[in-house]
């Protein structure tokens, strides 16, 4: 069969890393401190503590909670700590910031948990195109992580890559 089509990409020794696999699929809920402030501007400790006791914390169970304050107010550090003390026993994770900050932190945490030994002396392609918008920060992080162990790092698709790094 001289005209047989051979898939050279499938036969290559390339390891593909798809950062979409590390993107959080869990529900992320925002906890905004603004409604718990006096006139949505000032934190009064006694009122703030009382209002947090009235929150139905069960709605945050097994969810990733992004804690922020959308008001332009000065929020003391202990206020965030107090909210975290309520969320810690029930939430899957607690992130400081809005939903996009939560996605970024979770993505970075998951990338940094990759066992880099799986990529030791291998040719690695970091998949470029996909369904989700993966931030540039994630591509930089995976490069930092894999550079010390990979034989080479490329960006794109196995059939069309851009060389990023090659061990000498």
Separation between Cα atoms, residue 125 and residue 88, nearest integer Å: 37
pLDDT recorded at residue 116? 95
Number of domains in the chain: 2
More confident residue, 61 or 130: 61
Say yes or no: 84 and 129 in one domain.
no
pTM over 0.85: no
Say yes or no: 66 and 114 in one domain.
no
Res. 40: pLDDT tops 80: yes
3-state secondary structure the chain: CCCCCCCHHHHCCEEEECHHHHCCCCCEEEEECHHHCECCCECCHHHHHHHHHCCCHHHHCCCEEEEECCCCCCCCHHHHHHHHHHHCCCCCEEEECCHHHHHHHHHHHHHHCCCHHHHCCCEEEEECCCCCCCCHHHHHHHHHHHCCCCCEEEEEECCEEEEEEECC
Token digits for 99?
A: 């939903």
pLDDT, tens digit (0-9, with 9 covering 90-100), for 85-122 = 999 999 999 999 999 999 999 999 999 999 999 999 99
The answer to whether position 3 is within a domain reads: no
Phi, psi of 165 (to 5 degrees): -150, 140
Last residue in a domain, options 91, 124, 143: 91
Q: pLDDT grade, residue 154 (50/70/90)?
A: very high
Sorted by sequence, the CB contacts under 8 Å of residue 14 that are 6+ apart come out as: 123, 124, 125, 154, 158
CA angle, residues 52, 53, 59, in degrees to nearest 5: 75
Say yes or no: 86 and 130 in one domain.
no
The answer to whether position 98 is within a domain reads: no
pLDDT recorded at residue 160? 83
Token digits for 91?
A: 């939430």
Say yes or no: 69 and 112 in one domain.
no
How many Cβ atoms sit within 10 Å of the Cβ of residue 133?
8
Burial class (CB in 10 A: 0-12, 13-18, 19+), 75: middle
Say yes or no: 138 and 154 in one domain.
yes
The answer to whether position 81 is within a domain reads: yes
Q: Which domain holds residue 46?
A: 28-91
């Amino acid at each position: 069969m001289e005209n047989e089509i051979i898939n050279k990409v499938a036969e290559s020794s390339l390891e593909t890393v798809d950062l979409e696999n590390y993107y959080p699929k869990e529900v992320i809920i925002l906890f905004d401190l603004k409604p718990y402030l006096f006139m949505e501007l000032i934190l009064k400790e006694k009122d703030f503590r009382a209002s947090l006791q009235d929150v139905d914390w069960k709605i945050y169970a097994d969810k990733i909670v992004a804690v922020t304050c959308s008001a332009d107010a000065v929020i003391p550090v202990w206020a965030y700590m107090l909210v975290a003390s309520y969320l810690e026993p029930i939430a899957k994770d607690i992130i400081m910031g809005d939903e996009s900050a939560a996605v970024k932190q979770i993505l970075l945490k998951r990338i940094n948990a990759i066992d880099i030994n799986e990529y030791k002396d291998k040719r690695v392609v970091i998949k470029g195109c996909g369904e989700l918008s993966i931030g540039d920060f994630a591509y930089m992080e995976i490069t930092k992580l894999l550079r010390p162990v990979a034989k080479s790092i490329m960006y794109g698709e196995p059939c069309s890559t851009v060389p990023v790094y090659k061990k000498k």
